[in-house]
């Protein structure tokens, strides 16, 4: 895996699987797996993840990163987190917002390791 973006070291707040979307944990420099589309996502765990709370882990924060898909994803779609920190297509309800980690570079299905261009932000559906 080649990563050209920013990588930051964190301590895991709990076990973190490889290639999962992560968010800030309970303290400074602590990260845990994201578990919902409304989580403030900060990056993606690397190919090692973390085996237990307190273990050090690298989090890819920008650029291209490999991420595990949790459903059908089409290249170009914005990605958010499912309950297991896997990347799924972001689809906010009318008038609602979700957080995204970035956009899919390649299409894939549940369990695939795909590439994503990381750019954490918020996606809002303009409907009412």
Express each pLDDT in 64-112 by its tens digit.
999 999 999 999 999 999 999 999 999 888 889 999 999 999 999 999 9
- Dihedral class, residue 66 (left if φ above 0, else alpha if ψ from -120 to 50, else beta): beta
Count the Cβ atoms, other than its own, within 10 Å of residue 90.
20
**What proportion of the chain, given as a percentage, has pLDDT over 90?**
88
User: Does residue 80 sit in helix, strand or coil?
Assistant: strand
Structure pTM?
0.93
Quick: pLDDT tens for 14-61.
999 999 999 999 999 999 999 999 999 999 999 999 999 999 999 999
- Dihedral class, residue 43 (left if φ above 0, else alpha if ψ from -120 to 50, else beta): left
pLDDT at residue number 4:
63
| Nearest residue to 101 (alpha-carbon basis) of 116, 82, 83, 84 | 116
């Amino acid at each position: 895996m080649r990563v050209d973006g920013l990588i930051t070291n964190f301590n895991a707040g709990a076990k973190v699987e490889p290639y999962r979307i992560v968010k800030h944990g309970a303290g400074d420099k602590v990260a845990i797996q994201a578990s919902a589309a409304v989580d403030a996502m900060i990056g993606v765990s690397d190919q090692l993840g973390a085996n237990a709370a307190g273990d050090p882990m690298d989090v890819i924060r920008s650029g291209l990163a490999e991420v595990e898909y949790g459903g059908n994803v089409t290249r170009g779609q914005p990605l958010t987190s499912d309950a297991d920190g896997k990347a799924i297509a972001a689809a906010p309800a009318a008038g609602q917002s979700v957080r995204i980690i970035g956009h899919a570079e390649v299409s894939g299905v549940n369990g695939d390791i795909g590439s994503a261009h990381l750019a954490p932000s918020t996606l809002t559906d303009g409907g009412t």
